[in-house]
Amino acid sequence: MSPEISPVAEKHEGRAPMDLLRFATAGSVDDGKSTLIGRLLLDSKSIFEDQLEAVESTSQSKGYDYTDLALLTDGLRSEREQGITIDVAYRYFATPTRKFIIADTPGHIQYTRNMVTGASTADLGLVLVDARHGLTEQSRRHAVLLSLLRVPHLVLAINKMDLVDWDEAVYEKIHNEFTAFATKLNIPDLEVIPISALQGDNVVTRSENTPWYHGPTLMHHLEHVHVASDRDLQDVRFPVQYVVRPKSDAYHDYRGYAGQVAGGVLKPGDEVIVLPSGMTSTIEGIDLFDQEISEAFPPMSVTVRLADDVDVSRGDMIARVNNAPKPSQDIDAMICWMTNEPLRPRQKLAIKHTTRTGRAMVKDIQYRLDVNSLHRDQDTRELGLNEIGRVQLRTTVPLLCDPYAKNRTTGSFILIDEATGVTVGAGMINSGA
C-alpha cells in the first residue's frame, strides 16, 4: 500500500492512520550520518538477520573492532571503498507510531545537487556535527540549503559525544553557536540533541551519560514531531496527471481525472475551476481505488469526477474558483544547477512543473548565492555545477504556480536538457508575473 494514500485507506478500514515522515540527513564528511541511520534501522528492528551478519562480516574483514553500521546505507562500491556517501540513499522503516523514509545525502560540497534532490521532499532535516570539531562550514551550508528548501523542521544532532566525555559545556557551546546562526535563516522549528550514533546513546533509548540533557531522544522526536499542519490545506491545487476512461461495460460512461493533491481539501459538491481554460464545474465524486471517499487532501493520489463534461487533459489544474493560481510565463526562481555545462542567459531548456511540460529560455541571472556566507554575487553571468542563483525565465506555456514558500509542490520545477533528456536544474519559484 502506497504511503501517500494509506491514511485514508486505513481510516476507511477502521484503523487509526499511520503517519509518514520523510527526513533527510546532512553533515560534514565523517560526522556519522550513515552510522546514525544504521543505528536507527538496527534499534528499530528494521533490518534482516542476514543483512546484519553481512555487515558484521565485512566489518571484521576490514579489521574493525566494531560493527560498521554505515555499511547498511553506503551501498555503492565506491562509497564503501572511500568510506563516504556519494549518492542519495533512501531507506524505509517503521515503528508502531509512524512510517519513515530517510534520504541519506552526501556531505561533500561537490554533491550539493544530490543533497538538494534528497531534501526537496523532506518534512525534517537532520544535520549532524562532530562534537570534537563543532560547527563547520559544511554544517552551516547544509543548514542554509535546508532553509532554502523550506524544510519546516530541523534537528541538530551533536554526534560523537562519547569522544568528548559527554561534556555538557561542549554541547552548550555548539547549541548556542548554531541557534545564533539559525536566527539568520528561515528555520521555524529547531531541536538540538546530544548523541553517540556508534554506541546508541540518545538515539532510540535515553542515555545515562547525559543527566544534564532533558530533551527527547532522536527517535522520540522523529515519532512525535507534528508535520500535518506543514501542508497547505487552504489553497486547492490538483494537477491532472491522467484522464481515466475505462470504456468497459462496468464503467461505460466513466470519466475521471487522476493525480496527486498538491494543496487544499477537495470534497464532492465543491465548485472548481479548470486551468488554464477557465471552465468551471462541480466535483461530483472522488474515488480512491475502488471506493468513493468524502474528501481528499495532500499528498493523496485520487481520481476526481466532475459534474460537467468539460475539456480537461494532462497538465491542467483543478482549483477553487475564487482561489486559483495565476497562470504565468515569466518566472522568477532560485535554481540549483546540476550539470557541468554552465547555465547562461539566452539558454533554452525543457521545463517540467507538476504535470505540465514546456520550454523555457533564460532571460537573466540576477545573482549567485554563496551558500556558506549568504553573499549575493551580482556580477556573475553564469551558474556552474552545484551552484545556486536567482534566475529569470520565460516559458512557452503558462505555468500554474505558487511561490515555493507557500506550496513546495506547485512552487518547484525541474529543467531538462532537450538533447539528452537529462535533468540539469531544480528550481524554487519566488514569483510569477
- Percent of the residues in the chain that have a pLDDT greater than 90, as a whole number: 57
CA distance 30 to 49: 26
Mean pLDDT within 258-282: 96
CA distance 263 to 230: 11
Q: What is the pLDDT of residues 375-430, one digit of tens each?
A: 899 999 999 988 999 999 999 999 999 999 999 999 999 999 999 999 999 999 99
User: Of 74-88, 318-332, 372-386, 391-405, which gets the smallest average pLDDT?
Assistant: 74-88
Contact between 383 and 389 under an 8 Å Cβ cutoff? The reply is: yes
Q: Mean pLDDT over residues 27-55, rounded?
A: 73
User: Of 17-21, 39-43, 125-129, which one has max mean pLDDT?
Assistant: 125-129
166 in Cβ contact with 210 (< 8 Å)? yes
Query: What percent of the chain is predicted at pLDDT more than 70?
Result: 84
CB-side neighbour CA atoms (13 Å) of 286: 22
The SS3 assignment for 72 reads helix
Q: Which domains does the chain have, with CATH numbers?
A: 6-230 (3.40.50.300), 238-320 (2.40.30.10), 327-432 (2.40.30.10)
Query: Distances in Å between the alpha carbon of 377 and those of 214, 345, 371, 388, 389?
Result: 43, 16, 11, 11, 9
Nearest to 410 by CA among 181, 186, 240: 240
Q: Is cis: bond before 299, omega within 30 of 0?
A: yes
| Maximum C-alpha span of the chain | 73
